Amino acid sequence: MKKSVVGMIALSAMAAAMGSAFADEAAKGPAMTAAEKEQAKKIYFERCAGCHGVLRKGATGKNLEPHWTKKDKDGNVTEGGTTKLGQNRLEKIIGYGTDGGMVNFDDILTKEEISLMAKYIQNTPDVPPEYSFKDTLDSWKVIVPVKDRPTKQMNNFNLKNMFSVTLRDTGEVALIDGDTKEIRSIVKTGYAVHISRLSASGRYVYVIGRDGRLSLIDLWMEKPAVVAEVKIGFDARSVDTSKFKGFEDKYAIAGSYWPPQYVIMDGDTLKPRKVVSTRGMTVDGEYHPEPRVASIVASFIKPEWVVNIKETGQILLVDYSDIENLKTTTIASAKFLHDGGWDASKRYFLVAANASNKIAAVDTKTGKLAALVDVAKIPHPGRGANFVHPKFGPVWTTGHLGADVLTLISTPSEKKSDAKYKEYNWKVVQEVKHVPGNLFVKTHPKSANLWADSPQNPEKELAESVSVWDKSDLSKPKAILNVAKDSGLPETKATKRAVHPEYSADGKEVWISLWGGKVDQSAIVVYDDATLKLKRVITDPKMITPTGKFNVFNTQHDIY
C-alpha cells in the first residue's frame, strides 16, 4: 500500500490527542499492539473514513461504533433485535463487500490487514485534534509568486481539452492532452485527490486531496505545475472558486471533513482569509460533533457558494461579496448530504441525501428549498446528467449505490416551449434499469448517449464494465462495455474497476478510468461516443490507480 506522509502525520496527531478514557474503553475490544493500531489508523484514514466518518458515526457507509461492531462480554451478537457483527462477520463484509455499495477489499487489503481492520473497528474511535486558522496559515506556501507567473499561455496545448486525472494512491495528478492523449505533466499533490475544479477563467486547476492538502496548478506555465498550496484540515473532499461576474478567480473555498469546517482563501495564492466551523444541529434537532463539508459549487447568478453539510442535512448559501462580514442562508433538507450538480438552467442545485434516499433541490435564485424528492436506495449522482427526455422534457439523472436503477427527475425550465412539462417538475418520471454499485452517470449536450458505471458492484464483471443508453430509448442499454477486456491489459484476479465516464470538450469521446489493484497496471480507456468503438488505451508505468478525470472545459462550465 502506498505511503501517505501527510496522512501518517495527521494520524500520529490523532493518536497523541487520545485520552485515558479511550484507553479504558478500547481495552474492552480485541487487543491490539500500538504498532497494529497505528497501521489500522492509517488504513482507516485512507480507505474507510470517507464513507463511515472519522468518528465512525456513519453517513454514506454504516455506523461503525463498537456498540454495533463488537460482541458483548458474554459473546452475544444482538442488541434490541439488531444483529451485531463480531470478528468473523466483519472480516467477511470487509473482504467481500455488500450489495449496498460496500466495495470488496480482498483485492486491496491482505488477509492480515482485513483481520486487523475488523479488530480496529471493534475498539472505540480515536478522537482527532482540531485544526485552527493559525495551523492553516502556517501550512500555506506560495511556490511561484503571482508576479513571477506568465502573463499569457506559454505552452501550445489545447487547454480546453486537457484532462486533470487523479492518480489516487501516488498522491499525484496527471495532466493529459485530450487531443494527443499524451501525459503533459504529472504533478505532486495531496493523497487521493477527490476532485479537480477550474477557476472561472480556466487558467487554474484546484485539486484537493483526502489528506486536506489543496494544490493550485497554473496551466499557463510551459509545463503546468503547482504554484501554491495549503493544508485546510486532516481530511477533505471539496473545493470551488468564485464564478459570479466581477469575482472571477478572486476567491476559493475548500471544505474539510475533519475538522468539520470550511476555509475561504484568495483565489490566486490560496492565502487563508477565513475559517468557518460547521458544527451544529441536524435537521432532526440533534447536535452532531462531525458535520462534514460535502460538495461545494459556485452559483452563476449570485456571488454565493452552495455548501452542503453532510451529517446535519443543512445546505448553506455563503455570500462571498463581503467575506469580512460573511452572510449565510441555511436551508434544511435531509441527511446525509453528499454530491450533486446543477440542472440544465444552472438555477437549481440538486444534491443527494443518501441516508434518506432523497434528492434535495435548492433554488439559488430565491434562496429556498425547491423540492425534496424520494428516490431509490443510496443515491450517488456525482454531478448527475442533464438531457431532454422525449416525453418528460428536461431531466436530471442520478445513479445509486444500493439500487439497480438510474432515477430521472423532471427539472423546471423557463423556456416557453417547455411549459407543457411543468406538471412533471420535481417528480421522478422514470427509473432506468441498471445494477447496484453505480458511482457516476454522465452525458453531454452534443451526445445522444447516457453512460453509467458500476465500480462498487461486488461482481467482478459488472465492476469492470459500463452501460450505455440511447437517450431517446431508455428501455434497455444499447451496449454494455467490458472496459477491462477492451483495455488489453493482462487478466488478473484483482478487479479492475471501470469508473467515472468523462466526455471530451467536444462531446465526441468518453474516457473511462480502469482502476487496477495496488500491484496491477491501470489505464484510461477512450471510446468514440457515436460508435462506442475503442479509440485509445492510455497506459504508462506512471498511470497508477487513476480514478476521477476532469475535462477542463466541461468542468469550467459545469457541463454534464
Among candidate residues 14, 194, 288, 380, the one labeled active-site is 380
**pLDDT > 70: what percent of the chain?**
92
Q: What is the per-residue pLDDT across 441-477, written as a single tens digit (0 to 9) for each?
A: 999 999 999 999 999 998 999 999 999 999 999 999 9
Instruction: Give, in words, the CATH class of 434-560.
Output: mainly beta
Query: Do the domains 5-120 and 434-560 sit in the same CATH topology, yes or no?
Result: no
7 has pLDDT over 70: no
Residue reference for cell 451496449 = 479
Per the model's pLDDT, the better-predicted residue between 310 and 21 turns out to be 310
Residues 6+ apart with CB under 8 A from 521: 489, 490, 539, 541, 543
Greater model confidence, 28 or 289 = 289
Please, how many CA atoms are within 13 Å of residue 21, restricted to the half-sphere of its CB? Answer: 4
Q: What is the pLDDT of residue 109?
A: 87
| Residue in this structure with the C-alpha cell 453512460, named with its chain if needed | 451
For 323, other C-beta atoms within 10 Å of its C-beta total: 18
Active site residue 338: yes
Q: What is the end-to-end Cα distance of the chain in Å, rounded?
A: 34
pLDDT of residue 103: 74
Residue among 8, 14, 48, 67 flagged as catalytic: 48
Q: Right CATH number for 5-120 from 3.90.25.10, 1.10.3720.10, 1.10.240.10, 1.10.760.10?
A: 1.10.760.10
pLDDT at 156 over 50: yes
CA 162 from centroid of its chain's CA atoms: 20
Known catalytic membership, residue 102: yes
Angle 372-376-380 from CA coordinates, rounded to 5°: 80
Domain boundaries of the chain, sorted by first residue: 5-120, 434-560
Largest CA distance in the chain: 71
557 catalytic per annotation: no
pLDDT of residue 15: 40
> At 28, is the pLDDT very low, low, confident or very high (cuts 50, 70, 90)?
low
CA atoms of 466 and 455, how far apart (whole Å): 9
The residue length of the chain stands at 560
Active-site position among 14, 194, 265, 338: 338
Average pLDDT, the chain: 91
389 among known catalytic residues: no
Cα–Cα distance between 514 and 491 in angstroms, integer? 13
What digits encode the pLDDT tens for the residues 42-72? 888 778 887 888 888 887 788 898 888 876 5
Nearest residue to 210 (alpha-carbon basis) of 233, 231, 195, 191: 191
Catalytic site residue from 52, 288, 389, 444: 52
pLDDT class for 17, splitting at 50, 70, 90? Answer: very low
